[in-house]
Amino acid sequence: MRVYPAFFNLIFSWMDPELAHTVGFAGIKLARRVGLGRVLHRLTRPDPGNEVHVMGLTFPSPFGLAAGFDKGATGTHALTDLGFGHVEIGTVTGQGQPGNPRPRLFRLVEDRAVINRMGFNNDGAEAVAPRVASALQSLAQDAARTHRARPVVGVNIGKTKAVGLEDATDDYVRSTRVLAPYADYLVVNVSSPNTPGLRQLQELDALRPLLRAVREEADRVTSWHVPLLVKIAPDLADQDVLAVADLARDLGLDGIVATNTTIARDGLGLRSDAQDVIACGAGGLSGAPLRRRSLEVLKLLRGHVGEDLVLISVGGATSARDVIERLDAGASLVQGYTAFLYEGPFWAARINRGLRRAARRTSH
């Protein structure tokens, strides 16, 4: 019997969503501080047979935690104790910023969805970089002790709100300069709907010089190849999705993260009362209603690029079956976030068990 759904209904569902996130994340970090992390990891760690090798990296599991949960690398190791094969930090901006005014996070419980307009609240690249370095060192020590693959840590970078679009490239380069030496991979986020004007950077004339500059800076400040991906919105028209894919190949990027949250409300089959949805206001919607479009974009991309690019599929993945569906459709890796809020701390472990059972059935 699963205890967390009852706990969520009794405690978290009545709590302000952002406060619930803070409390839940604090509990995860506390478990590591009091010595429960190793115990948890023995219960949740992926099977070695689930390892995935992409971008020159070994991922203990194809399933990881999307950007947005651990914005400041304050609990990265604790999150991997729960079974995530990778954790994507961020979004991190060149300058620290408080984000948008509260309330800025809303649940649509009937839809297993969330609407957020957080606005890249984070401490800034200079503050986050040493935390990422510390997390990597701690994870490497655990991996050496257990003779298991180290969980991968990606870093997602975005534009500082106070920086104008004309200076966006310099802002991304600033974050790259500070964070690339500590990132297993970098993701350029130009697709959040919560920073004014940001999605204009998905237009090819703006995106090409931005991505080229980030790639050059990452190469300049490291002696190795840091994989670079771009994260796109599900709201792009199909032809624009393909145009970004062609640009990624042309620039020698390693992959695409598809997709971010959606600004759409219609056509998602939402069960929540329409007035409740309207009351949430503007922001990106994530969770189960995004599943269909995210899968469409994944199939569109894989059919277009063949094996040329790594594709990280994110949006609406809830179960092991969903993850397997994405992998079968061509995803190199799969990420989740919103379902974590509804499924609880052993969500990744359940998905890893499902992947292990599926692999065993296939092998037989």
**Pairing status of strand 310-314 against strand 333-336:** parallel
Q: Is the dihedral of CA 296, 302, 304, 308 positive or negative?
A: positive
Residues in the annotated binding site: 67-71, 91, 116-120, 156, 189, 194, 231, 259-261, 287, 316, 337-338
Residues in the annotated binding site for FMN: 67-71, 91, 156, 189, 231, 259, 287, 316, 337-338
Is 192 designated active site? yes
- Choice among 192, 286, 313, 332 that is catalytic: 192
Strand order in the sheet with 284-287: 105-108, 113-116, 284-287
Report residue 324: phi and psi, to 5°.
-65, -40
Helix 204-221 vs helix 238-251: angle between axes, to the nearest 10 degrees? Answer: 30
Residues in the annotated binding site for substrate: 71, 116-120, 189, 194, 260-261
d(CA 301, CA 305): 6
- Answer yes or no: are the C-beta atoms of 81 and 37 closer than 8 Å: yes
Catalytic residues: 192
